Amino acid sequence: MNYELFKFPQMPAQQQVTLLQQRRLEGAACSIASKWSERFGVCAKPLDMGARIIASDDQSVLEYFVATGSVRWSARSGQKSEADFQPRLPDEKEAVEYATARLREFDLMHRAAAVQSVTDLELCMRKAGEKEDTVWPIARQVNMRFKEGGLPFFGPGAKIQATVGEGGRVDAMLRFWREVDVVGEGRTISADHLADILMRDESFAQLRPGEASVQFHDCQLGFYALPPREVQGIFVPVFAISGTVSTPALPRYDFMRYVPAVATAAKGRGCVAPLRAEPAY
């Protein structure tokens, strides 16, 4: 193993952590989806699509995720083209206020979630006769992440998001989440064990010291949540580690890895977090 290929930050010391399990959902999925549809005013009968139940009319679309009880709603655009004019968006503080109020109105807020960031959805276009692209924000997204058992959640299956448009209008909302219960405790692996797992990752097998390098920047302990359409039993803690690979062909490639943080992870009945980049929002 080429130890000189890798550089590590200060790695976390061993500690006791909780193990979580998804709480069983109560009630028939179609009945629950119908109630959400009524709450959002979607005038259509929900259709069972397997992993999702979808209700859609001319005004909006509602998705209910059967495996987790997660919900996503979005309004259909009423304007002809986003390129017609640049919308007047609220500032970040106002966007959070509009988003929070709307999420509470539809019972999508959660005690374990808090605002993490506010990001812009941007339109990039080039009109006829122009030499440069025109870029402007068309909406602001208020992003919330979850924390339970004293640890943050990573991955696509644990987030709340609201999309705020012109005048504070909320055009889309989602809550991806599984209610959880504590089912036990575990002790995290040692820093040496963690480093050994990372250095043995097959993604780095063809790299050679002197012409390539792998630098890990930050290491956080938390839980990984699979996409909302997937069943996940036990939530085993993971280390979320950011890093950068540098090679002659690719000077900089940033990545994320998620490594099971407790030695009992292989015995868990649920899906253990993958050692790959987090799926996009």
Output the domain CATH number for residue 166: 3.10.450
CB-facing half-sphere around the CA of 137: CA atoms within 13 A: 16
Stretch among 17-21, 77-81, 87-91, 192-196 having the lowest mean pLDDT:
77-81
* 76 domain residue, yes or no: no
Residue 264 carries which DSSP code? G
- pLDDT above 50 for 201: yes
What percentage of the chain carries pLDDT values higher than 70?
Answer: 89
| Domain that includes residue 250, residue range | 3-20+182-267
Q: Quick one: 192 and 249 in the same domain?
A: yes
How many CB atoms sit inside 10 A of residue 94's CB? 13
| Average confidence score pLDDT of the chain | 89
Q: Bridge partners of 120?
A: 140
Q: Quick one: 159 and 109 in the same domain?
A: yes
- pLDDT above 60 for 4: yes
Q: List, for residues 75-133, the tens digit of each pLDDT value.
A: 987 655 555 677 899 999 999 999 999 999 999 999 999 999 999 988 887 677 777 77
* 277 domain residue, yes or no: no
Q: List, for residues 212-266, the tens digit of each pLDDT value.
A: 999 999 999 999 999 999 999 889 899 999 999 999 999 999 999 999 999 754 4
Q: Quick one: 159 and 187 in the same domain?
A: no
Q: List, for residues 155-169, the tens digit of each pLDDT value.
A: 999 999 999 999 999
- pLDDT above 70 for 271: no
Task: Output the domain CATH number for residue 207.
Answer: 2.40.128.690
Q: Quick one: 229 and 251 in the same domain?
A: yes
Cβ neighbours for 178, distance < 8 A, ≥ 6 positions apart: 22, 23, 68, 69, 70, 157, 158, 225, 232
- pLDDT above 60 for 272: no
Give residue 84's pLDDT. 65
Q: Bridge partners of 2?
A: none
Torsion angles phi and psi, residue 263, rounded to 5: -65, -20
* 212 domain residue, yes or no: yes
Best CA proximity match to 138, nearest among 151, 124, 154:
124
* 12 domain residue, yes or no: yes
Go through 58-68 and write b for each residue having 16 or more CB atoms within 10 A of its CB, e for each that does not: eebbbbbbbbb
**Higher local confidence (pLDDT), 209 or 32:** 32
Cβ neighbours for 93, distance < 8 A, ≥ 6 positions apart: none
User: For the chain, how many structural domains are there in total?
Assistant: 3
Token output for 37: 């549809």
Between the CA of residue 9 and those of 6, 169, 197, 252, what are the distances in Å? 10, 43, 15, 18
Q: Quick one: 164 and 95 in the same domain?
A: yes
Best CA proximity match to 157, nearest among 223, 227, 229, 109:
227
Please report which confidence band the pLDDT of residue 277 belongs to, taking 50, 70 and 90 as the band edges.
very low
* 211 domain residue, yes or no: yes
CA quadruple 218, 220, 223, 228: dihedral sign: negative
Give residue 81's pLDDT. 55
- pLDDT above 60 for 267: no
Q: Supply the pTM of this predicted model.
A: 0.86
Q: Quick one: 167 and 89 in the same domain?
A: yes
What percentage of the chain carries pLDDT values higher than 90?
Answer: 74
Q: Quick one: 169 and 186 in the same domain?
A: no
d(CA 224, CA 213): 27
* 278 domain residue, yes or no: no
Q: Quick one: 44 and 124 in the same domain?
A: no
Most confidently predicted of 9-23, 60-74, 207-221: 60-74
Contact 83, 148 (CB under 8 A): no
Q: What is the DSSP string of 69-90?
A: TEEEEEEPP-SS-TTS------
Best CA proximity match to 220, nearest among 273, 160, 181:
273
Q: Rg (Cα) of the chain, in Å, rounded?
A: 22
Q: Quick one: 7 and 53 in the same domain?
A: no
Q: Provide the pairing of β-strand 52-56 with 6-7.
A: unpaired
Q: Residue 196 — left, alpha, or beta (φ > 0 → left; ψ -120 to 50 → alpha)?
A: alpha
**Higher local confidence (pLDDT), 137 or 226:** 226
Q: Quick one: 146 and 59 in the same domain?
A: no
Q: Quick one: 90 and 166 in the same domain?
A: yes
CB-facing half-sphere around the CA of 194: CA atoms within 13 A: 26
SS3 49: coil
Contact 277, 255 (CB under 8 A): yes
CA-angle at 38, arms to 35 and 41, nearest 5° = 155
Token output for 57: 């009319």
- pLDDT above 60 for 274: no
Q: Quick one: 88 and 171 in the same domain?
A: yes
* 274 domain residue, yes or no: no
* 116 domain residue, yes or no: yes
